Amino acid sequence: MTLSCSGTPPTLPKKIVEKSQQFQALENFFQVFAIKPGEHVLVLSDPLLDPGIIQALQGLCLSRGAELNVFMAAHTRLSGVPEEVKPLLRKAQFVVSTWFCSIEDPFNIALRNAGQRWVKITYFRDLDLLDTAQARFPLDLLGEIIRATERQFPRAEDFRLHFSDTRGTDLSIPYSASMRDSMFSSNRWRGKMRADEPGCYVHYLPTHGPNFWDSTAMRANSNKELAIEGVLYPQIAIGFDKPFSEKIAVIINAGKVTKVCGESTEALVLREMLVDGKIIEGGGCGFNPKAPRLGIYPAGSNAAGVLHFGIELSKPSCWIRQHLPNWEEPPVHQDLVLFDATVMAGSATIIDKGFLCSLRDAKVVELANLYGDPVSLLECSVE
């Protein structure tokens, strides 16, 4: 006789858990979008953004006595702020954006230096995302995970940031003490999830990155030469419908991709795309234990311990334009993803075979107790 039974409990009815979960996510939403009475709020939008998000922001502004304006561009891939938008940006105290140029356009940087607050919503394009576990993960706990990661990096000394995995990844970034101070001084590395500080730039859904290395470490001088050397064996990249069946080696010398080794169709595509490109994100790390681990679109997974390496291409990729016509990023960028990397900062292990070590930090576990069972909260999603 074949038995058909299960020892697992039944799924709790929505009427039991739905409202509790909904209000957890809404409270996070209200806290991140820390709009104040009397403020001018500007949304830099695009036609593919869920209109429900605009309605939600409008309701929030109405409830707080703030003014909402929306500028819709034809797409998100703008490399810089159009001239006609600059007067609107100058007037705003709070900006919500889907545009690629949000972070690095000098015009935007100058406004943030003057105190303007930004929320980037790359990962919040559908209002239904409020119903996910990642949307209701406690903000302060997420911030403590990021701070615990930062605490592991050596202070007041030079060190080597090293990435490896069982496929053969072996990439090093030399870090000076001053680079460390510059890189980890940002509000993102301080674990600030709310857009409530002058000059802040936060991601929602929280959090995308922060990066282990990018131009911030070079004091925003992305053209400064740095001896980033080695090889990456990515498991997948943006635009590909499944992980690579072949071990594809991406060779990096002096921060540039000099060679891509492999015989598969995917290797041929990456070779045409990546050679002569420049690495601009050396390990963008995910930190949210409840973000879908395998959900890498549109810019790499936000799940704790998953890495993406951003490559600025030497020329626009025809393959990206063909396969990702509505991608939120321009066809001069590619993210290579590793799920199982080990990351060392000097002698400190930051990630161990894809596991973010700060999830076991004593302060993280202690704080998790305030929000529920630490094991349940800090166990990573495998979706």
Q: Is residue 2 part of a domain?
A: no
Question: Does residue 367 sit in the same domain as residue 291?
Answer: yes
Cβ contacts of 190 within 8 Å, gap of 6 or more:
143, 146, 147, 150
Q: Is residue 244 part of a domain?
A: yes
- Is the distance from CB of 22 to CB of 135 less than 8 angstroms? no
The domain that holds 41 is classified in CATH as 3.40.50
Residue range 5-33: average pLDDT? 87
Distances (CA, A) of 63 to 33, 36, 41, 225, 338: 12, 10, 13, 49, 42
Question: Does residue 215 sit in the same domain as residue 318?
Answer: yes
Question: Does residue 262 sit in the same domain as residue 115?
Answer: no
pLDDT at 380 over 90: no
Q: Give the model's pLDDT for residue 309.
A: 96
Q: Is residue 194 part of a domain?
A: no
Q: Is residue 126 part of a domain?
A: yes
Q: Is residue 196 part of a domain?
A: no
- Is the distance from CB of 229 to CB of 254 less than 8 angstroms? yes
Closest CA to 356 of 309, 311, 310, 302: 302
pTM attached to this predicted model: 0.92
Q: What is the pLDDT of residues 253-308, one digit of tens each?
A: 999 999 999 999 999 999 999 999 999 998 899 999 999 999 888 888 999 999 99
Q: Is residue 360 part of a domain?
A: yes
Question: Does residue 89 sit in the same domain as residue 182?
Answer: no
Q: Which H helix or E strand runs over 41?
A: strand 40-45
Question: Does residue 151 sit in the same domain as residue 282?
Answer: yes
Provide the phi-psi class of 321: left if phi over 0, else alpha when psi is between -120 and 50, else beta. alpha
Q: Is residue 193 part of a domain?
A: no
Question: Does residue 80 sit in the same domain as residue 145?
Answer: no
Residue range 218-236: average pLDDT? 80
Domain end marker among 104, 131, 158: 131
Question: Does residue 52 sit in the same domain as residue 183?
Answer: no
Question: Does residue 223 sit in the same domain as residue 83?
Answer: no
Question: Does residue 119 sit in the same domain as residue 213?
Answer: no
Question: Does residue 100 sit in the same domain as residue 220?
Answer: no
List the domain range (segments joined by +) for residue 335.
Answer: 139-187+208-378
Tell me the percentage of the chain whose pLDDT exceeds 90. 83
Question: Does residue 163 sit in the same domain as residue 93?
Answer: no
Distances (CA, A) of 339 to 189, 209, 286: 21, 14, 10
For residue 66 the two structure tokens come to 């703030």
Question: Does residue 225 sit in the same domain as residue 145?
Answer: yes
Domain end marker among 111, 131, 151: 131
pLDDT at 222 over 60: no
Q: What is the pLDDT of residues 80-89, one digit of tens each?
A: 999 999 999 9
Q: Is residue 85 part of a domain?
A: yes
pLDDT at 173 over 90: yes
The count of structural domains within the chain is 2
